[in-house]
């Protein structure tokens, strides 16, 4: 439990045990599940935590509320890592009203069978807790359809749900006055790329809707509570949701026996010589896919190379292309290289995918037959020159 203002307390928990977020994305530094208590004339809890941590969560609430009963539970987002303790909280406080929009209340019924003491709110609805007044703003598809955010006008605090969140447990503090923004930057970008990346347009709409509000605290459901870093955090989400990117390149490849890998190492060296200073190289058979996606969101250029495998692209390469397509990544420059031993298919499959997704591609590509002996220095140089100039 941590005091944020005179009446608002952090009552979340750290998870340093789970290795895969959503059973998909690696957690190198754990993750926090953030919840908050507003101890005004009425006591409100904003979001809950993953059910495995319900016991510690309840203790935090009782301490923050000074033993008073909870009057309201505000549900901004129904994903189970945030709604998982709703049933336990209702059991502890049976008269507590659960506050959510129509889609939220339907999900509460579907997930937890709770149908009573529900308070439906709509976009722009308000709720007085005494000194503090809460206003609710719908933010659909950031990143679920029921998502909303809650604004406290007295504290000038935005309870933002998953927006402005990041991976990483909280190490010894809660706010960015105790934790360095730089320590969470990569985890914020990685979180956005993996979890929110598909929903750039809804994020932009939400940012524009909330821009007029005077916000001095952002209390997300993952990661630090933002106070002094609000400008930086909003800038990160604004740039990522517009698919803005730095000049740089990700070189990602699949390689069974090292020949395609060797070609990519040479391409990366040539790109550096041509003035591309920021380059990240990934072997997709061993790389953490969440880190690859993070860097694709950060850098404008992407070189992908694959051997022909069963007349298709190498499976880890196909997986990456699907994840890029799912996230509707825009404004990127794609360069392709293919390799084969007896039957060429990789470049054809790259071209088909690029055309289907409307990707910007180089007019030239590289195809290697059997080994690097079939690729000339002039081909690599022409590829690197075209890529650098177009980038």
Domains observed in the chain = 2-241 (3.60.15.10), 246-390 (3.40.50.360)
What pTM did the predictor assign? 0.94
Distance between CA atoms of residues 367 and 27, nearest Å: 37
pLDDT range class, residue 380, cuts 50, 70, 90: very high
- Contact 65/91 with Cβ under 8 angstroms? no
Residues recorded for the chain: 391
pLDDT reported for residue 8: 98
The rounded radius of gyration (Å) of the Cα atoms in the chain is 24
Q: What is the mean pLDDT of residues 302-307?
A: 97
Q: Any idea what DSSP says for residue 342?
A: S
C-alpha dihedral, 180 to 186 to 192 to 194, nearest 10° = -140
Q: Give me the sign of the Cα torsion angle 95, 100, 106, 110.
A: negative
Q: What is the pLDDT of residues 109-162, one digit of tens each?
A: 999 999 999 999 999 999 999 999 999 999 999 999 999 999 999 999 999 999
pLDDT range class, residue 306, cuts 50, 70, 90: very high
pLDDT reported for residue 252: 98
- Contact 255/291 with Cβ under 8 angstroms? no
Strands 133-138 and 126-128, by their bridges, are: antiparallel
Could you tell me which residues come within 8 angstroms of residue 62 by beta carbon, excluding any fewer than 6 positions away? none
pLDDT reported for residue 214: 98
Which SS3 state, helix, strand or coil, does residue 380 take? helix
Our measurement of the distance from residue 254's CA atom to the centroid of its chain's CA atoms, rounded to an integer in Å, reads 25
Distance between CA atoms of residues 161 and 183, nearest Å: 21
Distance between CA atoms of residues 321 and 97, nearest Å: 45
């Amino acid at each position: 439990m941590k005091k944020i203002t005179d009446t608002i307390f952090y009552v979340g928990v750290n998870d340093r045990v789970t290795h895969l977020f959503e059973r998909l994305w690696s957690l190198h530094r754990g993750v926090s599940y953030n919840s908050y208590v507003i101890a005004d004339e009425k006591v409100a809890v904003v979001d809950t935590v993953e059910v495995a941590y319900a016991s510690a969560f309840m203790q935090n609430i009782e301490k923050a509320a000074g033993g008073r009963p909870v009057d309201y539970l505000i549900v901004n987002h129904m994903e189970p890592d945030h709604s998982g303790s709703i049933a336990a909280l209702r059991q502890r406080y049976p008269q507590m009203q659960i506050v959510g929009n129509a889609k939220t209340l339907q999900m509460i019924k579907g997930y937890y069978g709770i149908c009573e003491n529900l308070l439906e709110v709509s976009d722009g609805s308000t709720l007085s807790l005494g000194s503090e007044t809460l206003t609710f703003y719908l933010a659909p598809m950031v990143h679920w359809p029921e998502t909303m955010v809650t604004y406290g006008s007295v504290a000038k605090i935005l309870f933002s749900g998953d927006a402005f969140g990041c991976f990483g447990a909280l190490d010894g503090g809660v706010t960015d006055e105790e934790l360095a923004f730089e320590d969470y930057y990569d985890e914020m970008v990685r979180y956005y790329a993996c979890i929110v990346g598909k929903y750039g347009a809804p994020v932009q709409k939400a940012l524009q809707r909330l821009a007029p509000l005077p916000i001095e605290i952002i209390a997300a459901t993952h990661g630090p509570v933002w106070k002094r870093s609000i400008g930086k955090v909003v800038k990160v989400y604004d740039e990522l949701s517009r698919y803005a990117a730095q000049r740089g390149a990700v070189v990602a490849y699949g390689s069974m026996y090292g020949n395609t890998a060797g070609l990519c190492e040479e391409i990366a060296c040539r790109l550096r010589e041509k003035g591309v200073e920021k380059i990240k190289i990934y072997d997709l058979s061993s790389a953490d896919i969440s880190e690859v996606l993070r860097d694709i969101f950060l850098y404008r250029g992407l070189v992908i190379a694959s051997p022909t495998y069963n007349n298709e692209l190498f499976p880890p390469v196909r997986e990456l292309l699907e994840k890029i397509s799912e996230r509707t990544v825009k404004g990127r420059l794609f360069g392709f290289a293919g390799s084969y031993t007896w039957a060429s298919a990789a470049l054809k499959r790259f071209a088909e995918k690029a055309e289907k997704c409307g990707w910007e591609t180089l007019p030239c590509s590289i195809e290697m037959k059997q080994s690097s002996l079939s690729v000339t220095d002039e081909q690599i140089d022409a590829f690197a020159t075209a890529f650098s100039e177009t980038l």
